[in-house]
Structure 1
């Protein structure tokens, strides 16, 4: 960008609810302020994004969270995202999350309860799906857990495994990804407490612990992660809303401090950001504060690369709000916002 004090942000949104698709913005690292440089509505409902900076050009990947289900690639070397080829079907409905895993992009398909892998081509565009794993099971909350609903997929820090968080089955599935073919081989699944509805997971920087944020009950499940054997072990739960809250609360996203001292969670319904302290071992978490998110229905939460600012994508109020983080307490202080109708995701790079 020519300015070492600036980086970039990309905001996904629901075009079906008035969003502009994918927004590109510059980020002032001192203030956290966002300045929009361009947008693309070439893909319907690009609700979640993932950035790859390891190729000949910077490429942004997006789901198309529709019944047909697709993923798309954007060239983001310029001020506005530019579509690279046509969106590629994922062979499933309602992809709601995606992640880059080496030479492939993985999608978590909420509607179908499955995970798809798609190859990244030489120019960064996506090829036809090469792997698909379907989850099985259900949960006790019949209106939300009648079938599997994969909500997130991500590689573990070692790069050996792929984890998929399934809200419908109260579990986290572990698979191995063949780096050559993109085939996904189921390895195992960790059951969590029935009815909690796990939504998203984040790893501790030590790579040995993970934190699963639950949507149907406002709790965080602390886990131990064994990268050697690909096993996730639940250790306990902690609330992400204060005792006596009126609710209903629907936690959405979890972010861990790169230093391993704090964890932040977005909580819809309450419209709050939960601040949790992580103990030195990473095996315990404690809620220390709950602050307003600066808008309504915070669907996503993201930490800037500097580690100084936290961003909430407030879907129903149509804005992205940013906060300055206190390095000693982890407490966020609201410092600005950007209008972004139907905002659903923020990523940085």
Structure 2
């Protein structure tokens, strides 16, 4: 860390496509600019990252056919070459191509895309994941002839209360809701919420008020608005809106959805169209209007992240190999490009 008390972030990438692994960066608090501090390629295809709450450990999937998860000590990013240090050998997740992970109740959970499953790995006192204690396999399919022949778990996350585990499944057009039995390290299924057939749900984000959630679809460029009942663990779809303007010829594949800290706006990254959609929520948070789309600053925005202040957005543009940052107008929610950092095959950005 610099003497200017800059923030810290990490960029994941696909090593199989020329990425360098995990890049540690500092974040200028005044401009949002990223400065590289160090790189590690200790894990293949660390496409998604998740920091521990205290920031001392960084978790990564290894998005490969074998599938693994790993932990890195981030204190190493504050000295030496700045690169995080691998805590232990990566642990197999018992599923293929993990694309997302989350830490909850002393366990690391991974969503395994190709095998359509979710893995639970206990976390040891040193912060490193231990061998898997449970693997939950999904079943089902969807109408898309190529992308939905079977289940494809794409994201796993907790609700704002920490009680419920939600998994978006692109292959089955559904969101699965479970609880975690921390004593045995296994998921306990609660319910499955069907979404519109062929939509291909990819990622979900909660409204800061806790009573609503928004699902970004990949196979069709739309956002599904939902009510969330944390008492009953129930998700209820109440509407769907496009994330591309009418008349757009380019294909669009949603990748990441982010909600503003004040709950007024939703942003969605759309690959193909290579844009960030700006949607304004009404007073009920159950309806949204597409305000505009802005260029993502590169090609194929795989991830979109809001900085801790809520004032800047960062797009990880996989095909152009960069991370672009934007200043967000607090009144309109419209992002304005402010700079970029080269990051080959960039796949995600996390702060912590």
- Superposition TM-score, scaled by structure 2 size: 0.97
Counterpart for residue 61 of structure 1: 59
Matched, 1:76 2:74: yes
> Could you list the per-position Cα deviations for residues 81-131 of structure 1 after superposition, in whole angstroms to 9, with x for gaps in the alignment?
100100000001010111111211110000100101111111111101112
Counterpart for residue 346 of structure 2: 343
Counterpart for residue 200 of structure 1: 203
Give runs of ≥4 in structure 1 deviating > 6 Å: none
Distance 1:48 1:60 in 2: 10
Where 2:349 maps in the other structure, the secondary structure is strand
Counterpart for residue 104 of structure 1: 107
Q: Give, in angstroms, the shift of residue 179 of structure 1.
A: 2.4
1:172 to 167, 170, 175: 175
Counterpart for residue 93 of structure 2: 90
Counterpart for residue 158 of structure 1: 161
Unaligned runs of 5+ in 2: 78-82
1:317 to 320, 323, 348: 320
> Could you list the per-position Cα deviations for residues 224-250 of structure 1 after superposition, in whole angstroms to 9, with x for gaps in the alignment?
011111111000100000011112110
> Could you list the per-position Cα deviations for residues 208-238 of structure 1 after superposition, in whole angstroms to 9, with x for gaps in the alignment?
1000000000000000011111111000100
Where 2:16 maps in the other structure, the secondary structure is helix
Q: Give, in angstroms, the shift of residue 178 of structure 1.
A: 1.3
Where 2:163 maps in the other structure, the secondary structure is coil
**Greater mean deviation of Cα atoms: 172-181 or 7-16:** 172-181
Distance 2:29 2:280 in 1: 25
Over the aligned positions, Cα root-mean-square deviation in angstroms equals: 1.0
Matched, 1:330 2:333: yes
Counterpart for residue 31 of structure 1: 31
Asked whether the 8 Å contact 1:5–1:30 carries over to 2, the reply is no
Q: Give, in angstroms, the shift of residue 2 of structure 1.
A: 6.5
1:258 to 254, 261, 279: 261
Matched, 1:145 2:143: no
Q: Give, in angstroms, the shift of residue 280 of structure 1.
A: 1.9
Q: Give, in angstroms, the shift of residue 58 of structure 1.
A: 0.5
Count how many residue pairs are aligned between Structure 1 and Structure 2. Answer: 347
Change (3 A) 1:4 1:180: farther
Q: Give, in angstroms, the shift of residue 5 of structure 1.
A: 4.7
Unaligned runs of 5+ in 1: none
2:194 to 191, 194, 201: 191
Q: Give, in angstroms, the shift of residue 172 of structure 1.
A: 0.2
Asked whether the 8 Å contact 1:29–1:306 carries over to 2, the reply is no
Distance 1:196 1:4 in 2: 46
Distance 1:256 1:5 in 2: 27
Q: Give, in angstroms, the shift of residue 42 of structure 1.
A: 0.3
Distance 1:302 1:338 in 2: 15
